[in-house]
């Protein structure tokens, strides 16, 4: 079981490591120290559900319902574009730190809805977790161990990202750093949205 767990952990971690909409949002909330535990837990559980579905053999959903991928792709692109524009506007206004200084903390409901949208409206999440991890797990006799390893990596990654962001707090004590982060987040979101439309 142990070799399969290590393989699943390594594959999942390598896939999730690349910066994306979900990771950028968790990082931002970690720096703001807002709803970190709930967001990290939601991301990790969502990944675990998708990984479980992939390993259990539900990676054929896109083949069974061809429209599903198109709806998810364009829906995700619209949402990412909206969030990118919001990030650019926040940067123009002085950065997220200005919101925090003004007491404009995001509500738990708003934060949860945002991270759920980043997770479940992103077709790449399905390709990475359901399709890719699901298909590779078929190569292992111990698929359960592989799935446990892959799920564990999501928990390790998201909680490390969310709470590890505090190490960067001294850098983000300056409003300019928040403005730069908001611009970077906006660029990442727009790039992913564009990629979804032209893929």
> How confident is the model over 152-157, as a mean pLDDT?
95
> How confident is the model over 94-119, as a mean pLDDT?
73
Residue 1 has pLDDT above 70, yes or no: no
Q: How far is CA 118 from the centre of its chain?
A: 6
Residue 149 has pLDDT above 90, yes or no: yes
DSSP string, 45-64: HHHHHHHHHHHTT-TTHHHH
pLDDT in tens, 161-172: 999 988 887 877
pLDDT at 68: 62
Cα dist from 11 to 4, 50, 57, 122, whole Å: 11, 15, 18, 19
Taking the model in full, what pTM does it have? 0.71
> How confident is the model over 141-161, as a mean pLDDT?
92
Distance CA 32, CA 172 (A): 9
pLDDT at 101: 46
């Amino acid at each position: 079981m142990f070799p399969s767990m290590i393989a699943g952990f390594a594959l999942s971690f390598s896939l999730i490591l690349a910066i994306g909409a979900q990771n950028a949002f968790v990082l931002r909330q970690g720096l703001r120290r807002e709803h970190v535990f709930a967001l990290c837990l939601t991301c990790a559980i969502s990944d675990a559900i998708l990984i479980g579905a992939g390993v259990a053999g539900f990676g054929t959903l896109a083949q069974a319902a061809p429209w599903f991928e198109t709806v998810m792709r364009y829906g995700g692109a619209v949402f990412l574009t909206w969030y990118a524009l919001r990030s650019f506007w926040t940067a123009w206004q002085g950065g997220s730190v200005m919101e925090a200084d003004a007491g404009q903390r995001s509500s738990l409901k708003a934060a949860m809805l945002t991270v759920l949208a980043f997770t479940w409206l992103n077709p790449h999440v399905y390709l990475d977790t359901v399709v890719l991890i699901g298909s590779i797990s078929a190569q292992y006799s111990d698929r359960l161990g592989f799935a446990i390893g892959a799920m564990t990596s999501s928990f390790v990654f998201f909680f490390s990202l969310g709470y590890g962001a505090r190490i960067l707090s001294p850098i983000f004590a300056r409003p300019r750093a928040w403005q730069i982060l908001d611009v970077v987040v906006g660029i990442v979101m727009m790039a992913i949205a564009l990629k979804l439309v032209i893929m």
